[in-house]
Amino acid sequence: MDPQLRRDIGELQWIGFEGTEVTASLRRRLAKDALGCVVLFRRNLPLAAGHALPATVATPVDALALRALCLELKAAAGASQLWIAIDQEGGVVQRVRAPATVWPPMLAFERVAKLRGEAVACDLAEQVGRALGDELAAVEVDVDFAPVLDIHTNDANPIIGNRAFGRTAATVAARALAFASGLAGAGIIACGKHFPGHGDTHTDSHLALPRIAHAWDRLRHVELAPFRQAAAAGLPMLMTAHVVFEALAPGVPATLAPEVVQGLLREQLGYQGIIVSDDLDMKAIADSLDVGEAAVRAIMAGCDALLLCRDQAHQATVHQALLQEAARNEAFAARVQESAARIRDVKATQARHWALAARPSLAVLGADSHQALASALNAAMASDSP
């Protein structure tokens, strides 16, 4: 196989790993397979001195060691430009906590808007995005899997809830894109999620395959509206949902459906950025499909990158499946090359940003101005209490 095509296949694989150290095997994989991104979770964060496993959400991390870990991962990739990604939304989904700023859930902006108006809520959302982004940049993270573009339309939703920025399409789009603008100002790549919308599911896709039966007209005016605005605004990355939308692709998770990814997102909404799958280890996919087959189908559906966040056997299976499919299927090889080029274009744009700007020092973590922003959001939430 052409060595460049092998590197392109590596670019599409975004992996997680165990522990807080770069093992020899991980180092070899990063160098040999030219992987595109490493995703960090709480299990990967070095703990502050005096703290031992098992860590809780309140356990402070060693920021200096975390930055060193990220730099070591990047160095292991050699000539390839490796991204470090993380889920840092606020609320229950924020991997790096103390000494970084601990942010309340983004639904707090709903209360800010009621108290002080929508313009203030959007301005505050951009400030929060910039502050959170500066803290991620300081520890050498490149991509934040945020903001959530799902709408909080279902109080019984077990996975989105107060992670959403609001209860209507218009407010979610305005606040989430303001937050993304703040991240961009900090040099961080924002990733909106979960297309075409996870806000009205009754099932957590980590555990099972959710299904949404809404008609096309409802989807167009509600679930899809924030993603339409994100596409128009040029958001650099969007993540798919492992959710079946019966009106779009009956019986097929959105991640694997060409009608949804290529047809709807690329062609109808005109999205030009990177499309990354949600984690293929999640049971919504892994319980019903071989992960190698799922990976090939996701790329053919229009995804550019594949999240494989934990299972190393899955990672090996996917790598081999992509190599084999590219060797025998010219159309698939062309899709791989297209996606790899799209990812590298965004990486090059970000690299130009950092060529002109220095990353913040670790002193920015938990800065007084950032704590003040978090306090303002917490105060707004508290004022909504009975």
Active-site annotation, residues? 206, 278
CA distance 28 to 323: 18
For residue 252, the one-letter residue type is V
CA distance 344 to 185: 20
Beta-bridge partners for 143: 85, 189
Assign 237 to helix, strand or coil: strand
Structure tokens at 92: 């229950």
176-210 burial by CB neighbour count: b if 16+ within 10 A, else e? Answer: bbbbbbbbbebbbbbbbbbbbbbbbbebbbeebbb
> Closest Cα to residue 140, out of 67, 63, 36?
67
**Residue 221: C-alpha distances to residues 118, 151, 261 (Å):** 20, 12, 18
Alpha-helical regions (H) of 12-91: 24-33, 63-76
Q: Kindly state the DSSP code that residue 100 receives in the 8-state scheme.
A: S
CA torsion sign, 108 to 111 to 115 to 116? positive
Q: Whole-angstrom distance between the N-terminal and C-terminal Cα of the chain? A: 65
Q: Kindly state the DSSP code that residue 52 receives in the 8-state scheme.
A: -
CA distance 96 to 92: 11
CA distance 181 to 39: 22
Q: Cβ(188)–Cβ(223) under 8 Å?
A: no
